[in-house]
Structure 1
Amino acid sequence: MMKLKYWKPASCIAVICVWTTLTATARAQTFNTLVNFDGTNGANPQAALVQGIDGSLDGTLSDGGDHAHGTVFKLGAGGKLTTLYSFCAQANCVDGANPYGSLVLATDGNFYGTTLTGGEQNFGTVFKVTRGGKLTTLRSFCQQLYCPDGATPVAGLVQGTDGNFYGTTEAGGEYMSGTVFKITSAGALTTLYSFCSQNCTDGASPFAGLVQANDGNFYGTTWIGGSFYGDGTIFKITPAGELTTIYRFCLQSDCLDGAQPQAGLVQATDGNLYGTTTQGGAGSDGTVFKLTPGGKLTTLYSFCTQANCTDGGYPQGGLVQGTDGNLYGTTVLHGGKGYGTVFQINRAGTMTTVHNFDSTDGANAMAALLQATNGSFYGTTNLGGSGSGGTLFGMSADLGPFVAFVNGAGKAGQRVGILGQGFTGTSGVSLDGSPVIFKVESNTLLIATIPTGATTGYVTVTTPSGTLTSNKPFLVIP
């Protein structure tokens, strides 16, 4: 079975940064290669990007950098690429190496993430890195014999509404088939669940991270385990560690329902969960699916069902819901030029290929997209580009600016970070129609306080340039 996440570049020769800024007005479906990675500035991005509080695009590179073991980087307004940290800067890579997962912007303003390898035992780490590039290793995995605390985290973290971070490891655990864990900002780790505790019918080897849904539980996928054929699962786990297997893939003949998901899930505004599988479906090259809160799975689209697989195949990254209500994603393979695609799919399953990669502008997009608050989408390719080490690209879809949350849920009295642009001179903020006390921290960051009696709803921000609305409702926790 292909594990494309381990591919390396053939050569690394050049870097080109095209001018960009998060406040620019976008044209419909305009695609631009913004950075070509060449090894010296990092190489082979595996993970999605995140938007920083200063409006930057931040991410990880699994290879390259000063010590050839990956980096944390930032792309600022004007297209300036800055390496915040190069891994393996310490002897024996005790600071970690080869980050494959995305960063998460935490409520303290720092980024948190994982590395696949490195650390004290060379089985990966959890780290914190400041916006200035100071890295702190919070945890090295495999502290005990046989790694009961987990090993080799592929995915990044999610910050829960309790302020703790939650994630998965691909290996280790009590049954050596991966774990779900919780870790505090101080580095105290709790293993919540070890996979394969039920002859692997509960799943094994989670490659993807978690999403906390509106019900307060976390949802994720495992790459293998589950059914007799072992083609992966969807699971729910409470913050206390009680796991329920919601769906086992390849239950249908020829795996028409999909197989082997490597990406996490996204909860859309309709309350359903959406995701991808890398294999299975009518074309045997992966699917897009919908899962209702009641656990009913519907295959929305099967890849490689068009002649010569011009619709793409092997979607390894997850989905993101755009402000137009559609879902957007990427495929690693095929497409009109043979190097993967960017696609749009509505919630009824109508698929549109938005971009075909041709290697010069990138190849093998393995991560989900980010819709930044300027309305445009940004993503990465693992290979291709002029430096052969992958690319960072931007793509407009004629969608307007909006505001987003650092953390999309909270209780009355808590302070919430709001990301956007043009905040200087803001005259009002409201939550579900009710006014909110706020402070303008910068042109790209507001801090709002959830008022007593607030109800779940969209946030609006009145700026000198107009009113901006959040891309999703803010969830008020009782």
Structure 2
Amino acid sequence: MFRLSGRGKLAVTCLISVTAAINAHAQQFKTLVTFDESNGSTPYFTSLIQGSDGDLYGTTALGGINRHGTVFKITTDGTLTVLYSFTGGTDGDGPYAGLLLGSDGNFYGTTVGGGTYRYGTIFRITLQGKLKTLHSLALSDGVDPYAPLVQGSDGSLYGTATAGGANAHGTIFKITPAGTFIVLHSFEGVDGNQPTSGLVQATDGNFYGTTYQGGPDNGHHGTVFKMTPDGVVNSLHSFDYTDGAFPQAGLIQDSDGNFYGTTQQGGNLSCNAPYGCGTVFRITPDGVVTTLYSFCSQSKCTDGFFPYAGVIKGADGSFYGTTAFGGGHILANGGTLFRLTSDGVLTTLHRFAISGDVPYGGLFQDVSGEVFGTTTYGGNSGCGFCGTIFRMNFGLGSVF
């Protein structure tokens, strides 16, 4: 399981739950599925993805009939089907990341355990649930692939591993749909450490991403990097707390050519002092960072804090995302769903409670314009709160 630094464990203990009116947008919020362990449990860093059949697909890190995680599909009205339950053996154990829909119509994903060497796997699964292990990760390949894969313009799949590799700081790898695997880069610490997020291939053909820790001069607060298709990595920015720290999620590229992302900590250093509660930032392709918003800028952190997931961009020009904690809900500080304008004005659209809370995974918008996501915890108290899938309509039609 992914382990945060001690700084990341302060969480809600410093906050006081308050009675708060739920934003009117929350009336458009609906819980579609409550996991009960038999159908999966704990969708961790999962972002849903839509298949060619119109259904949504995702993973749970735990649960299923074998209790080692699942691949599932869900209709947009909430009917869930488990396509595959991992055994914990050579097929893998613990699919923490979401899926990639490949150009061949199949889904591709990763597990953080299992496989031949017990360090995880890369797999392909059909819409009908037939799974094939493409590669079993060895320590030299990189281990703990917590992020989804991305398909490059060359048809190959690119991904990251949080640890392992030649320097034990994580790797970037490439694998063909047929299973030919190579390590493109092993992080050295000064250029980054623990790449927990996936990559994005930009309009210039290069890949961009983040590392959770690392950076020059022992500044272990995380980086943004660029990688050429053949594996040459250049660090674009190292975070220093004031502009953010510990970017858990990846980046998106906007039509303006810039990249947008979040940091889990940093920013407003009076919150979780002296480490901060997270930011949304913009970075240019040459590495100039602008902080768009620092979380816990509102009284009692009603705007949320610790954004684990990245943001998505709406056709209205705003960004949408989640925080894993905060919000000031009367029942729990279980996170928020927010809208952020390009000039930094934040509106909280929903505050999560124990009926579904701690949304570690990102948001996904389907072709109808509705937004879907998961909460890692909350929901069914009978299984220790196994997580949920939710839908939200912002009332904007086709948002993205």
Q: Normalization by structure 1: what TM-score? A: 0.75
Partner of 1:215: 204
The amino acid across from 1:306 in the alignment is Q
Aligned-partner Cα distance in 2 for 1:217–1:29: 41
- 1:122 is displaced (CA, Å) by 0.8
Matching residue within 376, 380, 389 for 1:382: 376
Aligned-partner Cα distance in 2 for 1:353–1:66: 37
Output aligned runs, 1:256-335, within 5 Å: 256-282=242-268, 283=271, 284-335=276-327
Aligned-partner Cα distance in 1 for 2:341–2:121: 37
Partner of 2:13: none
Aligned-partner Cα distance in 2 for 1:123–1:148: 10
Matching residue within 231, 237, 243 for 1:241: 231
Aligned-partner Cα distance in 2 for 1:343–1:77: 21
Q: Give CA deviations for 1:128-165 in whole Å, capped at 9, x if unaligned.
A: 000000000000000xxxx2211121111001111000
For the pair 1:95 / 2:87, whether they are aligned, the reply is no
Aligned-partner Cα distance in 2 for 1:169–1:2: 16
Q: Give CA deviations for 1:148-196 in whole Å, capped at 9, x if unaligned.
A: 2111211110011110000000111110110000000011011000001
Question: Would you say the 8 A contact 1:124–1:141 is kept in 2?
Answer: yes
Partner of 2:123: 127
Question: Would you say the 8 A contact 2:219–2:238 is kept in 1?
Answer: no
Question: Would you say the 8 A contact 2:94–2:113 is kept in 1?
Answer: yes
Q: Normalization by structure 2: what TM-score? A: 0.89
Q: Give CA deviations for 1:219-256 in whole Å, capped at 9, x if unaligned.
A: 11001110423011000001100101000011xxxx11
Partner of 1:397: 394
The amino acid across from 2:243 in the alignment is D
Matching residue within 89, 104, 107 for 1:111: 107
Question: Would you say the 8 A contact 2:32–2:77 is kept in 1?
Answer: no
- 1:78 is displaced (CA, Å) by 4.1
- 1:96 is displaced (CA, Å) by 0.3
Partner of 2:144: 152
Aligned-partner Cα distance in 2 for 1:289–1:77: 31
Question: Would you say the 8 A contact 2:26–2:350 is kept in 1?
Answer: no
Matching residue within 357, 367, 372 for 1:363: 357
Aligned-partner Cα distance in 2 for 1:270–1:136: 39
The amino acid across from 1:275 in the alignment is G
Aligned-partner Cα distance in 1 for 2:390–2:5: 23
Partner of 1:162: 154
- 1:29 is displaced (CA, Å) by 6.2
Q: How many residues align?
A: 368
Output aligned runs, 1:38-49, within 5 Å: 38-46=36-44, 47-49=46-48
Aligned-partner Cα distance in 2 for 1:302–1:52: 35
Aligned-partner Cα distance in 2 for 1:327–1:221: 19
- 1:401 is displaced (CA, Å) by 3.6
CA 1:257–1:29 in 2, change beyond 3 Å: closer, same or farther? Answer: farther
Question: Would you say the 8 A contact 1:70–1:98 is kept in 2?
Answer: yes
Question: Would you say the 8 A contact 1:114–1:125 is kept in 2?
Answer: yes
Question: Would you say the 8 A contact 2:363–2:372 is kept in 1?
Answer: yes
Aligned-partner Cα distance in 1 for 2:232–2:244: 26
Q: Give CA deviations for 1:348-398 in whole Å, capped at 9, x if unaligned.
A: 1111111001111x1100011001111111000000013510110000011
Percent identity over paired residues: 50
Partner of 2:190: 201
Runs of 4+ in 1 over 6 A off after TM superposition: none
The amino acid across from 1:393 in the alignment is F
Question: Would you say the 8 A contact 2:307–2:324 is kept in 1?
Answer: yes
The amino acid across from 1:213 in the alignment is A
Aligned-partner Cα distance in 2 for 1:135–1:105: 14
Aligned-partner Cα distance in 2 for 1:292–1:157: 23
Aligned-partner Cα distance in 1 for 2:190–2:39: 42
- 1:40 is displaced (CA, Å) by 0.7
For the pair 1:139 / 2:135, whether they are aligned, the reply is yes
Q: Secondary structure at the match of 2:300?
A: helix
Question: Would you say the 8 A contact 1:29–1:354 is kept in 2?
Answer: no
Aligned-partner Cα distance in 2 for 1:269–1:140: 37
Higher RCO, Cα 8 Å, sep 6+: 2
Question: Would you say the 8 A contact 1:29–1:398 is kept in 2?
Answer: no
The amino acid across from 2:111 in the alignment is T
Question: Would you say the 8 A contact 2:193–2:212 is kept in 1?
Answer: yes
Aligned-partner Cα distance in 2 for 1:354–1:271: 27
Partner of 1:50: 49
Q: Secondary structure at the match of 1:308?
A: helix
Bigger Rg, structure 1 or 2: 1
- 1:3 is displaced (CA, Å) by 6.6
- 1:314 is displaced (CA, Å) by 0.5
